[in-house]
Chain A
Amino acid sequence: MKRLLGFLKDYKKETILAPLFKMLEASFELLIPLVVKRIVDIGIENKDRGYVGQMCLVMITLGIIGLVCAITAQYYSAKAAVGFATKLRHSLFGHMQKLSFAQMDKMGTSTMITRMTSDVNQVQNGVNMVLRLFLRSPFIVLGAMVMAFTIDVQAALIFVVVIPLLSIVVFGIMLITIPLYKKVQTGLDKVLGITRGNLTGVRVLRAFHKEEEEIEEFNAANEGLTSMQLFVGRISAVMNPVTYVIVNGATVALLWTGAVKVDGGVLTQGAVMALVNYMSQILVELVKLANLIITVNKALACANRIGDVLEMEPGLKVADREENRAAEGSTAETQSANAEETQTEVTSDIPVVEFSHVSLTYPEAGAESLTDIDFKAMRGQTIGIIGGTGSGKSSLINMIPRFYEATEGCVKVDGVPVAEYNLQDLRKKIGVVPQKAVLFKGTIRENLLMGKGDTKPAEEMTAEEKAAEDALLRRALEISQSAEFVDNKPEGLETQVSQGGKNLSGGQKQRLTIARALVKEPEILILDDSASALDYATDLKLRRAIHAMEKAPVVFIVSQRASSILHADRIIVLDDGEVAGMGKHDELLVNCEVYQEIYYSQYPDKRKEAQA
């Protein structure tokens, strides 16, 4: 909660002014019963028409001032609430981007979406209402009591009894309902999860004609949500009637006390009227307060859930980026130092990627996924990684950009342990082509430039810069074998890719993801089974093109096709997380049983030759 309130900091002025103006407005409202009292006790008693007119002018003036105050207050509170929500969404999004993959897997995408959308909305609503009403209502309630004291101490004692009683009722119900609203929200999450799953799996679900069952499942979750909502609603519905009884009971008491007092000559008729008016003002405010509390309840529940997300510590300990940015000068220095290092490395024999006795155990997993991996990849080399499903191929290459962290041993890039890099600098060196080809909504150009940190918008670019960019993209397209189909699109590079790249075929997507990685001009290029959606001919052309690149990167090819890695400078054969063999194709074919099995399964003819 405290963390969330921090987002209001930049709106200090608004957060203070909004309730302040609300209270001003309320003060003028509190004066009204006194004006009426005077009209009755002085104007009517003396039959003074002029006085009545004067007092009515006073009332209108009070009304106008009240209006100005109120609008000012509304503006400030809206500004603070919206600004707050905008900032909150901003840092939530930023925070989610910093979470580790393990954490994200655990939370699920749909939960994160709810947090950022409907939860933040509720909180925004809550902040707005709190700023407007949370001070105003208690102020009027207490103000009415104070005013009552100025009229008659004994009658005011009724207020003293009533107000705590009301507070108990109001806050009691609030305490009961807050945890319940949290449950309602969980129910909503479930409904959301089902809806989302239904959309992402629509083909499979329809193929198995699961529509009916999906509907049943959805209905069950939906019903659960509804009955939960009804339950909470029933409790909240008690609030209004109970407060009504208390306040009106108090009015009855006031009338009786008033009657006695007037009879004794202590109070006037107008005074009794004023007292009754104050009591009814309390009721009006309480109705508002009750509505407010419902909103605040929901907002608090949502705020807590958002707070939970914000409090999740990013999983990886990272060389502090913020710190680096704060000392921008020093970052530049480090970078240039790095660059120098890189220069020297070319001549020296520091491997670009080095695994020294690396093991990896995923959190909450029983056994190691990788055990004692040890190898070096030198500049310009191509490393092939082959092995069965679950043998740890992806895990291995995921450790180079530090998506997952070595539990034992050390992964070094350019001689520096990856943990000592700040993540951005590390990942700048690496181009990853993931297994699943993912593109984003936007033009092909935008997708390709994704990894380029400092691109200017087209309008601001000089012709040379534009030409350089185009040349870079063209090269990447050609190497990745996508130039042809991109050129065939009427809009070429400016073709819109729809969300998830749905308007492209699997192979086209895959080739564009390769181009995207090449645009980064990486030192290390990782192809994680990236050619699986490509036909052999394209796959071959692709590998040849990469090989022919000037400034060829270290290439890691993860594949199940022996043909993709045959020519690699070094092939790492993984079996169940362990290295089963390492070396060139010819060597492995002689001395690595696992490799032989894989190879011959794909080239049955060769086995015959070998046997012959």
Chain B
Amino acid sequence: MNKGTLKKVFRYIGRYWFFLLCSIVCAAVTVTLTLYIPVLTGDAIDCILEPGKVDFTTITEILKKMAFVITGTAISQWVMGVCNNRIAYYVVRDIRKDAFERLQILPLKYLDAHPYGEIVSRVIADVDQFSDGLIMGFTQLFTGIITIFGTLIFMFRENVGITLVVVCITPVSLFVASFIARRTYKMFKLQSETRGEQTAFIDEMIGNQKVVQAFGYEEKAMKRFDAINDKLGEYSLKAIFFSSITNPSTRFVNSLVYTGVCITGALSVIKGGISVGTLTCFLSYANQYTKPFNEISGVFTEFQNALACAARIFALIEEEPQVPEPEDVKVLGEAEGYVELTDVAFSYVPDRKLIEDLNLKVEDGKRVAIVGPTGCGKTTIINLLMRFYDVDAGSISVDGTDIRNITRESLRENYGMVLQETWLKAGTVRENIIMGKPDATEEEMIAAAKAAHSHSFIKRLPNGYDTVLSEDGEGLSQGQKQLLCITRVMLCLPPMLILDEATSSIDTRTEIRIQKAFAKMMEGRTSFIIAHRLSTIVDADIILVMKDGHIIEQGNHKELLAKGGFYSELYNSQFALSE
């Protein structure tokens, strides 16, 4: 039913063929030895007939043999367990690794379109479930299959008639198991999907508790949560119950097999065909032969679940990555900073046009300011310049080379970017600052921090530069976070800069100082600035006024004011109330 997924799972397992081989050999040894015990027990019982008719010499021999076999079984069982653990955990590790590596090359289009919680749930919860299924699967699948064949061989050697009884009834158990498994697969899939939905919801609500609480949304959130939760409960109940019918049903089939062996065996003992010892041996075989069917079907349902999870992970791993770099790709060295946009068109959703026919030439070292009402496509330009998204038509070039022919790494290395949404990595302040220049010296780092005016507040943190920041830099104010982001760029100083409302959360007093630092930083560097404080862009060489994806005005501050268009309206409005 899921051959593709299964094949991929096996590809992962194949890397550990040595452990797999070990495991199979040990399984074979374990099973053979385990199967030998009933034979020995049967032999021993045949030596114990009735008072005075007990063959103690033979019994001693048999029991010695048994002790030896038991020790051997135990050892090979342990080795098998260790091997199986390794296979399962290594495979899981490899899958997580691949999934994570894939995340690094997936286009932002994919990542922006999928809730983080859902992706995280795939990498963590799904892989976990898969690993549980896998471990159970391996320990039991091997021993199970080998036990079935081993028992058959042993049984045929002892008595053909009784064996045929066993062989005929047992398939019923398989039939029952696969019948149930087919029904439950869908349920497990639904369960897994609903779980993803729930994770995404929790991520959203718990992650933004402040807003939730400020709006007294707790109860509504609870209601929405309960709706998903109850749905999950319903699917889980079905999935768990139906899959758990498998065990009792197959066990019932076993008891039929057992009874079958009992009646044919007993009758054949009466006829004198076999001894009581052989019957004992057969009875325990009947148990052993059917147990693996039990387990295999149990494993089967578990496997179903694991496969449903695996399918979701593989879907992520196989997701189309960003456009690969062409073979003749160039590495952009220290760029001059001549940027040209030619007939650029772009939209996030195919039927909703955003940017069309955008043309722009920026000579190296020029300062470009982009202004315009919110939602006019300013942030989108950054996405395109940084090649987070590729243009739909037209081209963008740096120093005359189309950026699609430049390695992403070298292109991005040439940009220093400070975004509106500040993001810090969990780790120390130092690690965050030296992100762009890991080999920076202490002096360089402090100099950059001073230049960005973050040094003084960092010093006041409990452990200074070694203060550990939690996820999302909780505990720092928005402004402090932004200062750290600026420091990060200040340290590596690439030839081109992108500042997206970079100073929106910093007070103007600090901003003035940063502006000075920026001004120094921007000297001779091509810069793109998106800011709403018009005072900060008055000095720009080119001001682009955007509206609805088009550049409607272009020029420097004086020219635009003189023109008396949209820009001058925008500019003058800031003084409206004070006049």
Contacts and interface: CB of A to CB of B under 8 A. Distances in A.
A266 B496 CA distance: 98
A378 B534 CA distance: 34
Interface stretch (A1-9, A144-152, A337-345, A423-431): A423-431
Interface in B558-579: 569-571, 573-578
A425 to B, nearest CB: 9
B164 interface: no
A198 B111 CA distance: 11
Contacts of B270: 43-44, 47, 49, 52
Interface string B341-380: 0000000100000000000000000000001111100010
Interface residues of B, number: 172
B214 A40 contact: no
Interface string B83-109: 001100110110011001101110010
Interface in A233-279: 233-234, 236-238, 240-242, 244-245, 248-249, 251-252, 255-256, 258-260, 262-265, 268-270, 272-273, 276-277
Interface in B456-491: 457, 470-472, 474-475, 477-480, 483, 485, 488
B388 interface: yes
B424 to A, nearest CB: 8
A347 interface: no
A108 B280 CA distance: 61
B388 A252 contact: no
Interface string B221-261: 11001100110110011001100110111011001101100
A113 B63 contact: no
A357 interface: no
Contact of A211 (B104, B115, B424, B488): B104
Contacts of B71: 245
B531 to A, nearest CB: 10
Contact of A598 (B75, B222, B509): B509
A208 B436 contact: yes
Interface stretch (A62-70, A162-170, A174-182): A62-70
Interface in B204-232: 204-222, 225-226, 229-230, 232
Interface string B61-83: 00100110011011101100110
Interface residues of A, number: 184
Interface string B521-546: 00000000000111100000000000
Nearest to A436: B478
A39 B269 CA distance: 11
A560 B412 contact: no
A480 interface: no
B574 A82 contact: no
B447 interface: no
Interface string A196-229: 1111111111111111001100110011011001
A93 B217 CA distance: 13
A601 B512 contact: yes
Contacts of B424: 201
Nearest to A394: B477
A502 B291 CA distance: 54
Residue among B103, B108, B420 with the highest chain A CB neighbour number at 10 A: B103
Contacts of A242: 74
A124 B510 contact: no
Interface stretch (A153-161, A464-472, A529-537, A548-556): A529-537
Residue among A25, A124, A438 with the highest chain B CB neighbour number at 10 A: A438
B504 A389 contact: no
B218 A535 contact: no
Nearest to A543: B577
B263 interface: yes
B233 A85 contact: yes
Contact of A256 (B59, B233, B511): B59
A508 B578 contact: no
Contact of B508 (A79, A223, A561): A561
Given A82-B233, A101-B210, A534-B532, A206 B70 contact: no
A516 B215 CA distance: 9
B383 to A, nearest CB: 9
A546 B65 CA distance: 94
B128 A273 contact: no
Closest 5 CB pairs of A and B: A507-B374, A237-B81, A389-B479, A70-B248, A233-B85
Given A207-B417, A251-B66, A537-B569, 20 more contacts: A43-B266, A67-B252, A70-B248, A86-B236, A117-B121, A192-B124, A201-B424, A206-B412, A222-B93, A222-B96, A249-B67, A389-B505, A435-B505, A441-B201, A498-B113, A500-B115, A506-B374, A511-B374, A535-B570, A604-B535
8 contacts: A59-B259, A94-B222, A206-B412, A230-B86, A259-B48, A263-B52, A532-B501, A603-B575
